[in-house]
Structure 1
């Protein structure tokens, strides 16, 4: 309501306001009755990022309310349900070093119509021996890769400024 309408209604009595309401109801632009109570808008569905977070979280650490929401999302569509099963099976292989199960997992993924996972499987199959070793052996080159990544970052920051001597000092001082 505009400020002018408030000012006009304040000095009016209750009977005059009721009469004004009846006159306004007769106009075609207003609904004939105001007896229905508007319902609350439906809850917004979770975003894809939220659902992805639920899928990637270990089921035991997922809070009960989020577990129920994920269950309701997965009940509506079979593809996310299959995706969740495959992602969690791969996570179990990764955390429990069960790389010998990788061929069966790849076969199960190929059986489902999940193009995004098929792309992931194609990448795994390019170097299956190395992936199997990474999922089976307790050793990791992660620390070395982290240092290489850090050195490359320092090198990019110093690009064109100096030679190897300054890069060496930057790497040693950043440690």
Structure 2
């Protein structure tokens, strides 16, 4: 009777493969600076391109673009765009299409030392006020709350 039954679980001697990391986790590893990753995540990130060669190219392109942003290397943008188009990576091709659409602004953003952080912060604050007041008051009260912050 015992020979017709099979065990519900594999024997304990069979090593289980490491679980596959979620795409969102891999994306966060790719987007992070290498020095900010701990050794476990660095090892997992190094193992992934062996499983998926396309991710090796994605990782390389993302790292190069991040370096351009950090070093203000807008002069390298055209070469980066050509390198991405040479690879078979449809998601990055969509990004390249969008960057080419506004090429002058992207080049300026990657070259000039200015940023619009303060302006974006004010726009975010005004939009939050507008959402909070939606349907409750007229434009006069909104103008007063924007000009005289509490």
TM-score range, shorter-chain basis? 0.7 to 0.9
1:57 aligns with 2:32: yes
Q: How does 1:18-167 map to 2 (within 5 A)?
A: 26-31=1-6, 37-167=12-142
Structure 2 alignment gaps of length 5 or more: none
Alignment partners' CA distance in 1, 2:62 and 2:12 = 45
- Higher RCO (Cα < 8 Å, 6 or more apart): 2
Q: Which moved more, 1:137-146 or 1:110-119?
A: 137-146
**Number of equivalences:** 147
Distance across 2 between alignment mates of 1:55 and 1:131 = 22
After superposition, the CA RMSD in angstroms is 2.0
The alpha carbon displacement at 1:74 in A equals: 1.0
Deviations 1:65-121 (A, max 9, x none): 211111111112210000000000000001111111100000000000111111011
TM-score, normalisation: structure 2 = 0.88
TM-score w.r.t. length of structure 1: 0.76
Q: Note the residue ranges of structure 1 that are not aligned, 5 or more in a row.
A: 1-25
The equivalent residue for 1:169 is 144
